[in-house]
Structure 1
């Protein structure tokens, strides 16, 4: 790839090569001036379906309520084995009843994107509280409209009797409400980097709670998207992925040993309906690296 081209052009070319439509915002967390030297934008104000990235909004709301004394993060919540939101990880994939604290549910929700854990916390906190918290933090275009279970219920309705098999049909995928930002949980890349910046600058909630949020984000297990662009032992990547049919997202913070800290949000939609698209996953890391390297350039 021609490194003499502007970073936004290189990012668009990378998206095209990977067969995705992509949107990105990257920002130097420690800069108080937002200009072309401190941020990179590729459709940064476009509305996108956030998918599981929205779990970060729920996490921040949970810790803000704890800071305000509205809940106790060590409170134990019962999760019956026969009434959970489904999914491939965490409690969502387990069979037996579980009793767990809210802060441990939050860890599962973020580290392995546990849908059941997320919905237990949604039930405790409420969608309205999540939206109020995001508005208070200046995320004016970010909105939670449904729980994870409700989101997947729309997919089941939209695919009909064919079920999962229908997701190979582009016409079926095109009509999924879960992929339409006007009808599902939504936000913008710029809003997401604003939220990450608030967490890393101790503005999302009190410092001790922001430190807990950073710890949880640093424990995500998936290395194949954002982190793939920074395969260095001394560079730390914290993040949250989001996935739906044709949708692959990740937002996160890249921290360098010299103290540089960069918030990055990448949202993509693939042309192919294939469930496994390594190039579509990898381009999230590629685009993030191009953006961060441009921000770090003299």
Structure 2
């Protein structure tokens, strides 16, 4: 199976690091599962856990109203960054946007509310030593503009003509200089969320709800061709980077956490075969784990 997945990855022009595990058992499968990877927007999952945990412990209120002013905001191709007028939303609504459509503006408002020290403490408490989240979206995307010498508006199409050397020079694409994790740590986190171990039961339920509202069907979901499977997840995208982590739940009760991180050989933005590869790899791995049960 490993050879099959790697061969498909090479065919579509990506390098894959991935991990899948049974949430209620010990079966697992990985390819480079402990190697550092660029999270891109997958880093929003730990933020959601910390926000929900703070709310459950009474340190913040998900009903609190936050006003997003008009004018320049964090670059994002959709969501609040595209709004031309002020809007007021609850923290819960911001979290829904952060996970559901990967809204960068909503993410940075949530990050500012909970604070970087709290996120670091959460990762320490959960034993996720390989997961480092020291940048919000504005800081992360800002490094791309700084490295290239012009404003970057979170649009992959703007970077399609970059040479491999230029791409390798971007700090945002270097796990040592950007938000990072490992595939194994992300499935560990998802397992803790689904078993109510990452925070209190109410907080974990909130995070599961937000992850269940993600709208994108083109990656993880694409590998599962039945309505009998429930999929909750979070994508991550940067030039050359396509990721998704999530949980696949079957009608008979089995549950699996999966994380697929890919790095492409070029910055082509329209590459549906690379999106579909994530679904293929996840489905193939989970099929194998189910067969062991």
Report TM bin, short chain.
Answer: over 0.9
Task: Give the conservation status (yes or no) of the 8 Å contact 2:6–2:16.
Answer: yes
Select 2:138's aligned residue among 142, 146, 149. Answer: 149
Residue 56 of structure 2 corresponds to residue 67 of structure 1: yes
CA 1:128 to 1:168, structure 2 compared with 1: closer, same or farther past 3 Å?
farther
1:44 Cα deviation after fit = 0.3
CA distance in 2, matches of 1:203, 1:162: 41
CA 1:165 to 1:91, structure 2 compared with 1: closer, same or farther past 3 Å?
closer
Partner of 1:116: 105
Select 2:31's aligned residue among 39, 42, 54. Answer: 42
Select 2:195's aligned residue among 183, 190, 201. Answer: 201
For structure 1, list consecutive stretches of 5 or more residues without a partner in the other structure: 1-6
Deviations 1:43-67 (A, max 9, x none): 0001011010000111001011112
Partner of 1:131: 120
CA distance in 1, matches of 2:93, 2:18: 31
Residue 232 of structure 2 corresponds to residue 267 of structure 1: no
3-state secondary structure, aligned to 2:124 = helix
- Give the TM-score taking structure 2 as reference length: 0.95
Task: Give the conservation status (yes or no) of the 8 Å contact 2:159–2:239.
Answer: no
Partner of 1:174: 168
Partner of 2:14: 20
CA 1:217 to 1:165, structure 2 compared with 1: closer, same or farther past 3 Å?
closer
Deviates more, 1:120-129 or 1:260-269: 120-129
1:113 Cα deviation after fit = 0.3
Task: Give the conservation status (yes or no) of the 8 Å contact 1:86–1:93.
Answer: no
Over the aligned positions, Cα root-mean-square deviation in angstroms equals 1.3
Task: Give the conservation status (yes or no) of the 8 Å contact 1:167–1:173.
Answer: no
Partner of 2:252: 258
CA distance in 2, matches of 1:51, 1:86: 14
CA distance in 2, matches of 1:133, 1:172: 35
1:99 Cα deviation after fit = 0.8
Task: Give the conservation status (yes or no) of the 8 Å contact 2:21–2:256.
Answer: yes
1:161 Cα deviation after fit = 3.8
| Correspondence list, 1:185-264, <5 A | 185-264=179-258
1:114 Cα deviation after fit = 0.2
Task: Give the conservation status (yes or no) of the 8 Å contact 2:159–2:267.
Answer: no
CA distance in 2, matches of 1:173, 1:222: 26
CA 1:289 to 1:166, structure 2 compared with 1: closer, same or farther past 3 Å?
closer
CA distance in 2, matches of 1:263, 1:149: 29
CA distance in 2, matches of 1:169, 1:90: 27
CA 1:142 to 1:162, structure 2 compared with 1: closer, same or farther past 3 Å?
closer
Partner of 1:4: none
- Give the TM-score taking structure 1 as reference length: 0.93
CA distance in 1, matches of 2:43, 2:158: 26
Select 2:283's aligned residue among 285, 289, 293. Answer: 289
CA distance in 2, matches of 1:112, 1:162: 23
Deviations 1:157-185 (A, max 9, x none): 11214867454212221111001001000
